[in-house]
Structure 1
């Protein structure tokens, strides 16, 4: 295990994961309820990219309106890109929240942040305001839920594991109930499908415009938190130790919470509630490569993106003729990991803890 925590091992893992993400996108496009020949898929992508980047006309029979083009370029590739971006946002949020609250069980789903974002987005839909306002309301809901959890967990003393879990579970239940109520009130005829999308997660609504928001946000979040890696490391030492090192964590903690809430809100706005990605991805990376955030942030971002990308592919092929909501699969995989963490004798952020 110590060998994996060396610099060469980190650089090798970064290179492998960095190459695996675009290769996975190319390979997964051909997979679905109907498998498509790789040669034809790559021909569609080559013509479309040449048209978008250089204005080269698309040959007849390969452009918009043809079944192959529309399936590859308008349906499958956008949802795969969205899955990678959402996985990156949730994994980053989980890693940062764990450092902020000094608790390895923190993540947007467990702490109720995702439910708060869903409530904000549902309220925006009920009020009939779309576009960027839905994302803004999702961010406001996520930020409000995050603040409420911290406040409730801090009542009567310093927040601890039990208080955070209880506060997060209670808040998630309340936000979920209100969100479902708003959806049913807004449009009873289509309530079931909307509830399924928001509460179980789905990439079915993926589009290039939504990816134009999520992908830059995920990249910006990764770059921002990477520049803050030293401060995040100090947060693991506690406020007293950080003050002796000349860092005031209170203001920075609020900034990091706001950025994490923004990433979570955008992820929920685009794909609904998807649990445990922010819990599993950071812990896998910590166990293998250590707790330093200079390594944790980029590896976690890539791991979360790859995990959710392939989870979405599996959801589309596991049930012939039907699609399994991706939130169900991530919960099935993440819940056992959550229980294992709960059962450990003590909690920590390193591989030996």
Structure 2
């Protein structure tokens, strides 16, 4: 009996140690990714120039005052660094929301857009581009209307799922599918009646996702929201674990998941709405990253959430780097590249006979 207890304690210590090691490793890799990613781009800049600009802006070192302004300063500080940090925020948001959505609807195929958020965002962007809705917002009209469309769609799904009784995971999925189909139909209808090929092309480009519009203003919105929401979800890991067991089990344990599910959906929708506003629609990140982490560390959201956040952020940073360098003097839409990478990975996960929801045998 004592030997079994001793082995169990050793096993717990080993699992905890391995988790801490992986967490610190992913955190270090994320920091390395940020520092490395800003050195890539069409402009040929030396490592000295890149890091001198950042060192001056952060620490105001007098001997580096030559980097206080100019072309090199603008490329590094106003273009590359905001873009990398925006990729960090968006990648983290998509991964965390993927974890949360999969727990809420108890479906391993759920992604951040399961509530029809992407379709609602696309409808908003289509109205802005094709019909000029929100034109008074200037250059932010497309992003803001997409954000509004994403939020309105998610709230509509929550409202429909709660009609005729409390929302369940099945009702949320069905409501999301229905609202998504309606939004797509309206988007296609607007494109058809407008018959503007150049505007239709712009809608298509927006739907492919891009971080080219990165700025410090967008980073100042996206990054704090992502970090705060991720921290809040991390504190709710017990309830998220409970959601995997279903409503009946949770009620027997004295917890009503209905209110929690609704509040989590609203918070996740806000995160995805801002991600859509900043970068358009980027698929597969919130679908594949949580599965990869589950295979290695199981379903416990105390581990799953932080590891998915770090891995998702690093993944999107390097995808954005690839988008900038794959095509010479051009840029590949990040949504296209992520799908090219993510789809085969997801197919591989599906055909693994030993893999089930949560990595169970």
Q: What is the TM-score with the length of structure 1 in the denominator?
A: 0.85
Q: Deviations over 1:46-90 (max 9, x none)?
A: 011124xxxx668553122x1111111111111111111001111
* Pairing 1:31-180 to 2, within 5 Å after superposition: 31-51=40-60, 59-64=64-69, 66-109=70-113, 112-123=116-127, 126-130=133-137, 138-146=146-154, 171-172=179-180, 174-176=182-184, 178-179=186-187
Inter-partner Cα distance in structure 2 for 1:208 and 1:184: 36
Cα displacement (A) at 1:129: 4.6
Inter-partner Cα distance in structure 2 for 1:260 and 1:205: 23
Q: Deviations over 1:9-42 (max 9, x none)?
A: 1111111111221221111111122442111110
Inter-partner Cα distance in structure 2 for 1:87 and 1:188: 33
Cα displacement (A) at 1:225: 0.2
* Pairing 1:1-353 to 2, within 5 Å after superposition: 6-51=15-60, 59-64=64-69, 66-109=70-113, 112-123=116-127, 126-130=133-137, 138-146=146-154, 171-172=179-180, 174-176=182-184, 178-179=186-187, 191=199, 194-341=202-349, 348-353=356-361
Q: Unpaired runs of 5+ in structure 1? A: none
Structure 1 range deviating more: 20-29 or 126-135: 126-135
Inter-partner Cα distance in structure 2 for 1:112 and 1:235: 21
Inter-partner Cα distance in structure 2 for 1:332 and 1:319: 15
Rg larger for: 2
CA pair 222-10 structure 1, distance change in 2 beyond 3 A = same
RMSD of equivalent CA atoms: 3.6
Q: Deviations over 1:207-243 (max 9, x none)?
A: 0001000000110111010010000000000011111
Q: Deviations over 1:134-154 (max 9, x none)?
A: 777545533443456678899
Inter-partner Cα distance in structure 2 for 1:342 and 1:23: 31
Inter-partner Cα distance in structure 2 for 1:347 and 1:105: 13
Q: Deviations over 1:237-273 (max 9, x none)?
A: 0011111111110010000000111111000000000
Structure 1 range deviating more: 102-111 or 263-272: 102-111
Inter-partner Cα distance in structure 2 for 1:202 and 1:106: 23
Inter-partner Cα distance in structure 1 for 2:134 and 2:184: 18
Q: What is the TM-score with the length of structure 2 in the denominator?
A: 0.83
Q: Deviations over 1:306-350 (max 9, x none)?
A: 111100000111111110000001111222234445556798432
Inter-partner Cα distance in structure 1 for 2:220 and 2:190: 28
CA pair 152-276 structure 1, distance change in 2 beyond 3 A = farther
Inter-partner Cα distance in structure 1 for 2:173 and 2:346: 12
